[in-house]
Amino acid sequence: MILDILFPNRCLGCNSIISADLLICELCFSQIDFIHSGYSDDNFIKEKCRLLFPVENTFALMQFGKENLSRKIIHELKYKSREIAGEILAQWTSERLDFGNQKPDLLVPVPLHPKKLKERGYNQLHLFTEKISEFYNIPFDHNLIRRNHYSKAQALKNRQRRLETENTFSITQTITGKNILLIDDVFTTGNTVASIAWEILKAGNNKINVLVMAMDA
């Protein structure tokens, strides 16, 4: 209570004081660039994925712009220890994502390397994935995919380094005949998701879908 008084939670948009369980105020919420495209639609992220690997369905919650609120929210989640942002983003996703009759069998988040996980203290996708699992009653597996190499944050890499994804990930267990939903925070080039997708596709007769918090055009 004292900390709330001394260091009140402030809206990421306008800096006004808001409840401790919120990220932005009601007014700023209306300024978020939500992407209004359905899971099974032929949307922009699906077009980009199909250039890289076979994909069934895709969904992106927000547009990731240079100065927009989506970027601020994702940065709070990844770099400022605001893990609770994952739960809030999952709630927003549940209000907009309809799987219809194409509900996946398993949720699989992009993993962090153990060294990066230790540095950050949490995987920014885990709470998000767990809440999506609760909302839709779909099991998740945080350990199906292993990241084999430690690397700098994507934002610090040059374009050539981003393309070097060969053998970045591996499968930790036998999996076949599953309709899998890969979950990531920001879709930029698509190379990270593609690298994981191919490992899952090679492992057996699996299908790949993609869910991201934000899409970087």
Q: CA-to-CA distance for 73 and 78, rounded, in angstroms?
A: 9
Give the CB-side neighbour count of residue 114, counting CA atoms within 13 A: 3
Token duo for residue 135: 């909302």
Cα-based torsion angle of the residue sequence 107, 126, 46, 59 in order, rounded to the nearest 10 degrees:
90
**84 lies in the same domain as 138:** yes
Same-domain status, 104 and 202: yes
Q: Are residues 88 and 50 in the same domain?
A: yes
- Statement to judge: residues 70 and 171 lie in one domain: yes
Q: Do 189 and 96 fall into the same domain?
A: yes
140/195 same-domain check: yes
Shared domain check, 121 and 205: yes
Structural domains counted in the chain: 2
pLDDT score at 143: 96
Whether residue 176 sits in one domain with residue 72: yes
User: What's the confidence (pLDDT) of residue 149?
Assistant: 86
Give the chain's end-to-end CA distance (angstroms, integer).
Answer: 41
Q: Are residues 24 and 75 in the same domain?
A: no
**pLDDT at position 160:** 46
> Token pair 């779909």 is at which residue?
138
Whether residue 26 is found in the same domain as residue 63: no
What percent helix, strand, coil does the chain show, rounded to 5? 35, 20, 45
CATH number for position 190: 3.40.50
Return d(Cα 154, Cα 158) in angstroms, integer: 8
* Per-residue burial over 77-92, b = 16 or more CB atoms within 10 Å of its CB, e = otherwise: bbeeebbebbebbbeb
Kindly state whether residues 117 and 209 are assigned to the same domain. Answer: yes
What domain range includes position 163? 33-215
Query: Which residues partner with 149 through β-bridges?
Result: none
Based on the domain organization, do 22 and 96 belong to the same domain?
Answer: no
pLDDT in tens, the chain (217 residues): 554 556 799 999 999 999 989 999 999 999 999 999 999 999 999 999 999 999 999 999 999 988 899 999 999 999 998 999 999 999 999 999 999 999 999 999 999 999 999 999 999 999 999 999 999 999 999 999 999 988 765 544 554 454 454 678 999 999 999 999 999 999 999 999 999 999 999 999 999 999 999 999 6
